[in-house]
Amino acid sequence: MSKNKQTRYMVSAGLAFSEEREMCKLSRMAAKGWLLESFSFAGFTLRRGNPQELIYCLDMQTIPADEQEEYHDTFRASGWQPVCFVGNMHIFSAAPGTKPIYSDRSSLREKYIRANRMFKRSAIIFGLLTLFGLIATYLTEKSESTALPYNIAWVLTLFFLVLATPSWMVYIAYRVRLQRLK
């Protein structure tokens, strides 16, 4: 965790892999006066504030920009305050004892079905691009021309593989969560 006087960066293990653990860790940090400000692919930015007893929850919804305020108002009415969001991932905070956003297995299952659907698309797309890259690499390796097409195909294949691997890992993590909820 890097830090300066007012902000800290906390590395995330990945919300798909340890969502509950990450939310609990954010709660412990809030109790120490480090409040969640934003999150990104690999972690959270915390800002120095007054220590607070908070619980955090992640919701995954694709909300059009013109419906964001109504979406947030729905959560506010239940005691949950919007903290930050990136794309379709929204983090809310509330006082301990607030009714959970996902209070039953079926609503939690719906959350993971939505997440699984989102990551399935990227896993398929990047998987296919990697496969096409492998085919192009194989075909250019057998050609009698210069090494340039082969090198380009190889670099593109590696690039797509770098994108495909985390997509598949996240997709599989959500599939496992869904299986556990059956």
Same domain? For 70 and 125 the reply is no
- Looking at the domain assignment, is residue 17 inside a domain? yes
Query: Per-block average pLDDT, block size 10, for the chain (182 residues)?
Result: 74 89 96 94 91 95 90 94 90 94 87 88 94 90 78 93 92 91 80
Same domain? For 10 and 84 the reply is yes
- pLDDT attached to residue 108: 87
- Looking at the domain assignment, is residue 128 inside a domain? yes
Tens of pLDDT, residues 133-171: 999 888 888 777 778 888 899 999 999 999 999 999 999
End-to-end CA distance of the chain: 36
Tens of pLDDT, residues 72-81: 999 999 999 9
Same domain? For 24 and 65 the reply is yes
| 94: nearest Cα among 77, 78, 81 | 81
Same domain? For 70 and 111 the reply is no
Same domain? For 76 and 153 the reply is no
Identity of residue 68: Q
Name the residue range of residue 166's domain: 105-181
Residue with tokens 């108002």: 73
Same domain? For 52 and 82 the reply is yes
| Token pair for 100 | 């959970």
- pLDDT attached to residue 2: 47
Domain count, the chain: 2
- Looking at the domain assignment, is residue 100 inside a domain? no
Among residues 70, 94, 118, the one where a domain terminates is 94
